[in-house]
């Protein structure tokens, strides 16, 4: 890139309808803040309504002319995702940008409501199901995009298809990396299937580098303790910077779909958004296809790629 891209360099998004999962805190909130300030119609998909209401209140104070909505969804619960998608489709006739951002990081071994390992279930399967259930809106909205947030932890990860539930051993960071690699493979595979069916949707993957967020609360819902916050701020970049790859992936006109966007700094930990070619090394079509088929089986959600219909 010829310059250091920042939020003010975004193309016009006024009137665009944008759904952000986990938009009440961290990079999700910063992403929502940037879009609201540019006049977009922003909907936050959140698990905790109280925290969501506080985020919406703040966004409306900062950007009173923008539309900011709130809907509850628990990505660790397929019934919640189905209800959310049904309500969203009943209330909205289009969706310009879906940002699959929400996630949990390194909790003790635990299961989702449907019995999946929590990180694979919430970080990957939840977003796979949500995107599939909203795909009819996306494919019938001109120039729509799906942005899926991965992580640096995906770069050295693999998918252990024989131990997705953790019953044969569980290491928190390893399973986190697996879930974020699944995010990456899903986003890239989605683009391949979009292209093979001649659709106009773009699927782009990104990662925020090493950014100060509340992910390390390990799904407790509580803020990190003060000491951990101080250490985190010393070695990470602020959330405003961490949100830039998402904003770039969601709006940059030059992107064709299938790219991976991350920071340009040392070891890709901090900096301004650029295309990261590492996705070409990490993406394996056979693994991605197997993951897709398994995700359909586990969630019961199938994608319909034919134009103009939900079938």
Summarised one tens digit per residue, pLDDT across range 157-168 is: 999 999 999 999
Within-domain flag for 3: no
Tell me the pTM: 0.92
Q: What is the pLDDT of residue 221?
A: 52
List alpha helices for the chain, DSSP H: 26-37, 49-62, 78-91, 118-119, 126-139, 172-196, 226-235, 239-242, 244-251, 278-282, 285-299
Whether 303 is catalytic is no
Mean pLDDT score, 129-141: 98
Q: What is the pLDDT of residues 220-251, one digit of tens each?
A: 455 555 544 544 555 689 999 999 999 999 99
Does a structural domain hold residue 304?
Answer: no
Mean confidence (pLDDT) of the chain: 92
In the predicted model, what is the mean pLDDT of residues 131-145? 98
Task: Decide if pLDDT at 304 tops 50.
Answer: yes
Strand partners, 21: 45
Is residue 139 in some structural domain? yes
For the stretch 97-123, pLDDT in tens is: 999 999 999 999 999 999 999 999 999
How far is residue 88's CA from residue 109's CA, in Å, rounded to a whole number? 32
Q: Which residue carries 């770039």 as its tokens?
A: 248
- Torsion (CA) 152, 131, 82, 76 in degrees, nearest 10: -10
Measure the CA–CA gap between 311 and 235, rounded to whole angstroms.
48
Using an 8 Å Cβ cutoff, are 215 and 122 in contact?
no
- Examine residue 158 and state whether it is found in any structural domain, yes or no: yes
**Model pLDDT, residue 41:** 98
Three-class DSSP category at 147? strand
State how many domains the chain has. 1
Count of all residues that appear for the chain in the document: 311
Residue 140 lies in a domain: yes
Residue written as tokens 């890709």?
A: 268
Domain assignment present for residue 253? The answer is: yes
- Does the structure show a pLDDT above 70 at 273? yes
Q: What is the predicted pLDDT for the residue at 213?
A: 62
Q: Is residue 311 part of a domain?
A: no
Mean pLDDT score, 131-156: 98
Return the percentage of the chain with pLDDT > 70, whole number. Answer: 90
pLDDT of the residue at 218: 44
Which pLDDT does position 310 carry in this prediction? 58
Residue 306 lies in a domain: no
Quick count: other Cβ atoms within 10 Å of Cβ 12?
10
Instruction: Give residue 91's domain range.
Output: 12-298
Is-contact 20 43, C-beta < 8 A? Answer: yes
Return the CATH number at 269: 3.40.50.720
**Cα–Cα distance list, 42 to 13, 96, 182, 246, 270 (Å):** 11, 10, 26, 14, 26
Whether the pLDDT of residue 300 is over 80: the answer is yes
pLDDT score at 1: 43
Which structure tokens are listed for 70? 């709130």
pLDDT at 217: 41
> How far apart are alpha carbons 120 and 137 in whole angstroms?
25
- The pLDDT tens digits of the residues spanning 167-225 come to 999 999 999 999 999 999 999 999 999 999 999 999 999 999 997 665 544 444 555 55
Catalytically annotated residue among 176, 260, 283, 303: 176
């Amino acid at each position: 890139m010829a310059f250091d891209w920042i939020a003010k360099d975004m193309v016009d998004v006024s009137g665009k309808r944008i759904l952000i999962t986990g938009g009440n805190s961290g990079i999700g909130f910063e992403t929502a803040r940037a879009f609201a300030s540019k006049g977009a119609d922003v909907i936050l998909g959140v698990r905790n309504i109280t925290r969501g209401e506080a985020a919406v209140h703040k966004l409306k104070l900062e950007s009173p002319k923008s539309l900011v909505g709130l809907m509850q969804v628990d990505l660790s619960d397929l019934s919640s995702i189905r209800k959310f998608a049904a309500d969203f489709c009943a209330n909205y006739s289009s969706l310009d940008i879906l940002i699959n951002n929400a996630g949990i990081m390194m909790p003790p071994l635990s299961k989702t409501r449907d019995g999946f390992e929590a990180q694979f279930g919430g970080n990957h399967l939840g977003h796979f199901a949500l995107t599939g259930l909203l795909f009819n809106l996306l494919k019938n909205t001109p120039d729509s995009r799906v942005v899926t947030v991965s992580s640096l932890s995906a770069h050295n990860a693999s998918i252990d298809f024989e131990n997705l539930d953790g019953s044969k051993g569980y290491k928190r960071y390893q399973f986190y990396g697996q879930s974020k690699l699944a995010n990456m493979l899903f986003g890239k595979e989605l683009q391949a299937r979009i292209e093979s069916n001649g659709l106009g949707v773009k699927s782009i993957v990104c990662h925020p580098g090493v950014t100060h967020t509340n992910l390390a609360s390990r799904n407790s819902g509580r803020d990190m303790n003060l000491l951990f916050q101080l250490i985190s701020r010393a070695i990470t970049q602020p959330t405003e910077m961490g949100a830039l790859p998402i904003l770039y992936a969601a709006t940059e006109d030059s992107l064709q779909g299938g790219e991976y966007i991350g920071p340009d700094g040392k070891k890709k930990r901090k900096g301004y958004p650029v295309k990261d070619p590492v996705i070409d090394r990490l993406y394996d079509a056979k693994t991605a296809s197997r993951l897709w088929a398994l995700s359909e089986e586990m969630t019961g959600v199938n994608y319909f790629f034919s134009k103009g219909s939900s079938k």
